[in-house]
Amino acid sequence: MKILIVDDFSTMRRIIRNLLRDLGFSNTDEADDGNTALPMLKTGKYDFLVTDWNMPGMTGMELLKTVRADDNLKSLPILMVTAEAKREQIVAAAQAGVNGYVVKPFTAAVLKDKIEKIFERLQ
């Protein structure tokens, strides 16, 4: 299981990386926005994507839409971890095909719960 973590703040990437490691996912890579993430995803090496929304360059929302529109990537499970908390934004993310949505600030338990739910549904 290889996971790509996309967030423009290195501290947040590090927190997520540590939490994922505690959950048993130690094979992770990082990118700081959608533009950096997309070519990495296109290599086909990743099984799971954790992305922020608000980033300079390509946002998480644009990345989500781009991934869903790509024939090779469209079934990639995506968890959004973001400070964006408006109802219409969450609805928009759901409509764009996100698999899970976690609002910051979040706890390790919430992250674990959402990731497990996503895998449950995939099986």
Partner 1 sequence: MNEADNQAPGMEYEKELLEQVGQLKDEVEAGDMAAAMRRIADMGEERDQTLYLEVGRLTRSLHEALRNFHIQAGNEHQRQALSRMGDASDRLGYVVELTSKSANRTMDLVEASMPLASQIQQEGAAIRSEWQRLGQRDMKAAEFRQLYSRIQRYLDVTCEDSSQMYENLSEILLAQDYQDLTGQVIQRVTDLVRDVEDNLVKLMVMASDVDRITGTVHETAESSEEKDKEQNSRGEGPQMNADKRDDVVSGQDDVDDLLSSLGF
> Of the candidates 30, 32, 33, 84, which one interacts with partner 1 according to CB under 8 A?
84
Dist. CA 70–CA 65, nearest whole Å? 9
Answer yes or no whether residue 110 interacts with partner 1 by CB under 8 A: yes
SS3 letters across 94-119:
HHCCCCEEEECCCCHHHHHHHHHHHH
Cβ nearer to partner 1, comparing 32 with 84 = 84
Answer yes or no whether residue 66 interacts with partner 1 by CB under 8 A: no
Stretch that binds partner 1, among 23-31, 43-51, 67-75, 95-103 (CB under 8 A): 95-103
> Of the candidates 1, 69, 103, 122, which one interacts with partner 1 according to CB under 8 A?
103
Structure-block tokens of residue 73: 């990537």
Dist. CA 16–CA 12, nearest whole Å? 6
Closest to 81 measured CA to CA, from 95, 96, 98: 98
Binders of partner 1 among 27-46, rule CB under 8 A? none
Residues near partner 1, by CB under 8 A:
9-11, 14-15, 18, 53-55, 59-62, 82-92, 94, 101-104, 106, 110
